[in-house]
Amino acid sequence: MSANAANTQTDLRDLHPPITPFDSGVLPVADGHALYWEQCGRPDGLPVLFLHGGPGAGIAPTYRRFFDPGRHRAVLFDQRGCGRSSPRATLDGNTTWDLVADIERLRRHLGLDRWLVLGGSWGSTLALAYGQRHPDRCLGFVLRGIFLFRAREVDWFLNGMGHFFPEARHAFLDFLPAAERATPLQSYYRRLCDPDPGVHGPAAVAWSRYEEACSRLVPRLSDTPADACLPLARMEAHYMMHQGFLDEGQLLRDIDRIAHLPAILIQGRYDLVCPPTSAWELHTAWPGSRLVMVPDAGHAAMEPGIRRAIVQALADLRP
């Protein structure tokens, strides 16, 4: 449910130019957590909140380039336990509703009344949860790679992707002892929560490689070191073990709370991490939404068609 940012300038010519934050800081929140945040663009511009994927992926400088520096006041932050937030890779006080409360605290800290919300993959889940809890603070939504955290979507991640990437799923399961392969989520979660780096490190790499292998229309091998994989793998497994801290079907059930707000939904036609059926169901339940189906993309935010669609959506959405 995450996507690594591309690194080369030539690959990103369809994004806005690189930009340096005009403000940044660390915000203490509940349960001993402290969140890194930054703002870029125009201080008097249209506020837009960016919610990264994972959970546990963190932000990257490339994500700033989705935003028009002459129009937007973009707010980006690392969610609990990842990126430059602290403590790192901790599961204490780390639930969907803790993160929703963090977003509200950050909004008040920055003195903003309302903002657009941009979220991808897990970020789309969190954006919907936040919007339904605080609809009066949202101007609209740009959501990418829709994930509604229903049981069948978690099962797809663990099992369904293997129909298209059998070699990746074989490696994912082969990491585990044969007796544990029937329950991969529980087996990985136990290892990812183990305090011994010799246990959680290899498990984090195996988990992350599986996801990375399935995330793009044209797969590439992940060489992310074990230490960098841990927050993503541990938190994804944690949230899956707890059904996203949501009732089954909750985000569709409560769509009426934000149905009056505009939304652009961006979905890769060949997204095998978050299959397009979820985007379609959300679109049909949300009268004010527009669905952009990108014909030549998988799941990752930095695939060319996806990133162009995000930039265009932010240009189109003028609340």
Q: Is 208 a catalytic residue?
A: no
Pairing of strands 263-268, 138-144: parallel
DSSP class per residue in 116-138: EEEEETHHHHHHHHHHHH-GGGE
Q: Is 85 a catalytic residue?
A: no
Question: Distance between CA atoms of 237 and 80, rounded to whole angstroms?
Answer: 15
- Of 85, 121, 187, 215, catalytic: 121
CB 98 within 8 A of CB 89: no
Would you state the structure tokens that stand for residue 241, as one six-digit string?
Answer: 């073990």
29 phi-psi bin (left φ>0, alpha ψ -120 to 50, beta other): beta
Burial class (CB in 10 A: 0-12, 13-18, 19+), 109: middle
**One-letter identity of residue 180:** E
**One-letter identity of residue 268:** G
Would you state the structure tokens that stand for residue 35, as one six-digit string?
Answer: 């969140």
Q: Is 271 a catalytic residue?
A: yes
- Of 238, 271, 278, 283, catalytic: 271
Other CB atoms within 10 Å distance of the CB of residue 200: 22
130, HSE (Cβ side, Cα atoms, 13 Å): 31
Burial class (CB in 10 A: 0-12, 13-18, 19+), 243: middle
Question: Distance between CA atoms of 45 and 40, rounded to whole angstroms?
Answer: 10
With the CA atoms of 55, 59, 65 and 68 taken in that order, what torsion angle do they form, in degrees rounded to the nearest 10?
80
Q: List residues with catalytic annotation.
A: 121, 271, 299
